[in-house]
Structures are given as C-alpha cells and as structure tokens.
Amino acid sequence: MPFDATQVEAKVRGYILENLLFTSDGSELANDASLLERSIIDSTGVLEIVLFLEEEFGVKINESDMVPENFDSVNNIVRFVLRLKAAQ
C-alpha cells in the first residue's frame, strides 16, 4: 500500500496528540510547531516516536538519523518518513 503525505501526517498527528499531548483536540498541534521548544518531546520522548514510526510504517531508523531536524515538527517527521519509504 503506497503512503502519501496526507495519510502519514494524519497518523503522526493522531499519535502525538493521543500519546504525547493527551488530547483529541487537533487545534493543539500546529504542523510546523517545534516539539522541542514546546517541551512536547525530549530525548526520551523521541524514543517513543521512533518506536511508533518503526511499527506503524515499517521503516528502520538508524541512530544517525535520530537528530532534532528529523523530529522537531509534524512536517519534519512526515518528510522524514516519506524519505525513508522512498529509499526502501
């Protein structure tokens, strides 16, 4: 099944809202907001997201990819996942 940006975005947003922001209110999360600056993720929080992405999208995330640029906003995460899928 092909992944498109909209599907990935919906899943990533759903996960972050439910598990890191503990809400179902989509207005709480702007796609370009920095998750680090808002203290939504720290270095332990990122491990949770990595686990989710690997399970949900069947990607493998290397240690060297675990940098803030890939995870700091919904948009960045979506781009990162699409790049990983394209490389598969």
Partner 1 sequence: MCGIAGFTGPSAMPAEDRATLDRMIRTLHHRGPDGFGFHVDAGVGLAHARLAIIDLETGDQPIHDERRAVWTVFNGEIFNYLELRASLEKLGHRFYTKSDTEVIVHLYDRYGDDFLAHLNGQFAIALWDGERRRLLLARDRAGIRPLFHTRANGRVWFASEIKALLSVLPQCASLDPQGLVETLTYWSPMEPNTAFRGVESLPPGHLLAIEHDGRESMTRYWDWTFPAVAEKTVAFDSEASAVHALRDLLIDAVRLQLRADVPVGAYLSGGLDSSGIVALIRGFTDTPVRTFSIAFEDAEFDESEQQAAMVRHLQTDHTTLRCTRRDIGEAFPALIAHTEVPLVRTAPAPLMLLSRRVRESGFRVVLTGEGADEVFGGYDLFKEAKVRRFWARQPGSRLRPKLLGRLYGYLDQSPVGNPAFAQAFFGQGMQHIDRPIFAHVPRWTTSQRALTFLSPELRASVSPWDPLTYYERQVPAESAGWSPLARDQYVEAKSLMAGYLLPSQGDRVAMANSIEGRFPYLDHRLIEFANRLPPQWKIRGLTEKHILRRALAGLLPQEIVERTKQPYRAPDSRSFFFDGEPLDFVADLFSAERIRSAGYFDAAASGRLFDKCRAGRATGFADNQAFVGILSTMLLDEHFVRQRGRAAQQNPIVHSGVSHAV
Residues lying near partner 1 in the complex (CB under 8 A): 18-19, 21-24, 36-37, 39, 41-48, 63, 66-68, 72
Provide the minimum distance between the beta carbon of 31 and partner 1 in the complex, in angstroms, as a whole number: 19
Instruction: Please state, in angstroms and rounded to a whole number, the distance separating the CA atoms of residues 56 and 79.
Output: 15
Instruction: Note whether 50 and 7 are within 8 A (CB).
Output: no
Closest CA to 14 of 28, 27, 24, 5: 24
Amino acid at 70: N
Compare residues 40 and 59 and give the one whose CB is closer to partner 1: 40
Provide the minimum distance between the beta carbon of 7 and partner 1 in the complex, in angstroms, as a whole number: 23
Provide the minimum distance between the beta carbon of 1 and partner 1 in the complex, in angstroms, as a whole number: 25
